[in-house]
Amino acid sequence: MTLVFSIAIVLASAFIGGALAKRFRQPTVLGYILAGFFIGGGAIRLARGEAVLTSLAEVGIVFLLFALGLELPFGRLRRVGEVAVWGGLIQILGVILLGVLVFPRLGFDFYSSLFLASAFSLSSTAVVVKILSERGELRSLPGEIMLGWLLIQDLAVLPMMVLLPAVKEGNGSFSLLFFSLLKAAVLLGIVVVLGRKLVPLLIGKIAGLGSRELLLISVVSICLLFAALTANLGLSAAIGAFLAGLIIAETSEHHAVFSEIRPLRDFFAIIFFVSLGMFLSPQYLFSHFGLILLVSVVIILVKLFLVVVLVLYLGYHTKTAFLTGMGLVQVGEFAFILAQTGLNKGLVDSEVYSLILSVALLTILLTPWFISFAPRIYLFVRQKTKEREPILYRALFTRFDQHQTHEEGLELANHVVICGHGRVGGWLGRALELTAVPYVVIDYNHQVISELNRKGIKALYGDPADIDVLDFAQVEKARAVVIAIPDRPTQELVIQHCQTLNPKAIIICRTHREKDQARLKALGVETIIQPEFEAALSMIHRVLQKMGVSREEVAGKIKRIKLEHGMS
């Protein structure tokens, strides 16, 4: 009955927390964690279900990391490989170095400081991916950089799981450290090689049977088998599941596999997130709140500084660097795994374990707000430094955000200014090119701008929200401005600056949320495009035609739906 009661408590807490989060328009993961802390923790302790919940949470992180490896977009990560690899590795080493220097001043010994810094150097793949997915920003440039960065951090857990116990047991013996790492690398290499040879063949054979049940059973078995193998190697079961996901992602059946595993992933992931809140001791939290807050602030500032500096150094725009940094400041789920491993093996005491959990949870709770308000904070800092600290403004913005334009300049008139050259702006630019309509692109992805310039397309590297950049794009002579950037703070600034530079320009803007339409209309946007609604109209048109409805009647129905939607 303990198992059934524990699951019932977790799911009831998750429902309450998730419903409240949705009610206040917050990410559901935030509601799950808070519900676990305020509702579920006491009930679980009364029912003595901690051991059951620990096991369920471990299964949750296994399926969560398996699904992450399964849907990891390697193709999209190739273009951010340099910043992800070098940035991720240097950031991890930087946090560990600073932690070893700072934590002894807070009363921790050298090994505890090393363990804390290693855990705090990792960010949360599960939380960041979930938030970016809900916001539709996984394919944005900062989103892709964050994904690549997080992948490097996840892979860095492998040597951490080997080296941290070896440092403790070997008292710094380099030979022991080397052979421990070599042993793990060889065994993991064997697992991966065998997996890449055997797993695709096995999955293909099972998929050929045409049974969804057998495919699901086989996938779950492979996931748990890899998890058990890496656990027996002295590593984490979650790492094995992650490797299994990466291997299956290379098969042609990985989409079908993901669709089968997703319900299990969602179910156990909810248990994992609720358990994060339940495992936090209220007594430790309130008695050490000052220390937890201090460490959290230090970690957030250090990681933000390191990420921003590294992304800027590797040639990206200040806005890209800041948005990426704000998304990676939290401490991630692998910190829980490291902490649990350290406590079970006697590497660290309960105080270090509780501090890792507390700091991780506090920073995770703040992450939705960090990501949500990052564009506004960036614009605020940019504007205030420009007004009050011109030297700092030139150092942070002008120096790194130099305008890169087509070598022939921007001698344009009656042209179209495209703000953002992603999937929407890219196809629009292609259409304008085919119809010989002059246009210029503004984007803060230097790779996109360099590629456009190589093709002879007029393009400007910079933030469209900067009035100087819009002025350089000859907005005062433009016939139309198309805002293909999704975040509303940037949209509003672009609209205001365009109205200042050229009140007669036609402004066309995209938005994902219906509630933003009235606001954008009031600011002076002539045409608002909501991608989901436009897709619905296209589907309606095709379905009604297939059903034999006349063309005139189809046009009338679509016109009525547009009116109901608030479109003229």
> Could you give all domains of the chain from N- to C-terminal order, each with its CATH number?
2-175+265-367 (1.20.1530.20), 416-529 (3.40.50.720)
> Which of the pair, 102 or 518, is modelled with greater confidence?
102
Q: What is the dihedral of CA 448, 452, 458, 460, to 10 degrees?
A: 20
Residue among 338, 336, 311 at smallest CA distance from 323 = 311
Cα–Cα distance, 544 to 537 (Å, whole number): 11
Mean pLDDT for 397-426 is 72
Element housing 419 (H / E): strand 416-419
pLDDT tens digits, one per residue of 525-540: 888 888 778 888 889 8
DSSP state of 345: T
Whether residue 125 has pLDDT greater than 50: yes
pTM of the predicted structure, to 2 decimals: 0.74
Question: Measuring CA to CA, which residue among 404, 511, 506 is closest to residue 451?
Answer: 404
What pLDDT was estimated at residue 324?
93
Number of helical H runs and strand E runs in the chain: 26, 6
Q: Assess contact for 215 and 207: CB atoms under 8 A.
A: yes
Residue range 33-77, pLDDT digits in tens: 788 877 655 555 555 556 666 777 778 778 877 877 776 655 555
Distance CA 95, CA 97 (A): 6
Which pLDDT band holds residue 405 (cuts at 50, 70, 90)? very low
**Least confident span in 161-170, 377-386, 520-529:** 161-170
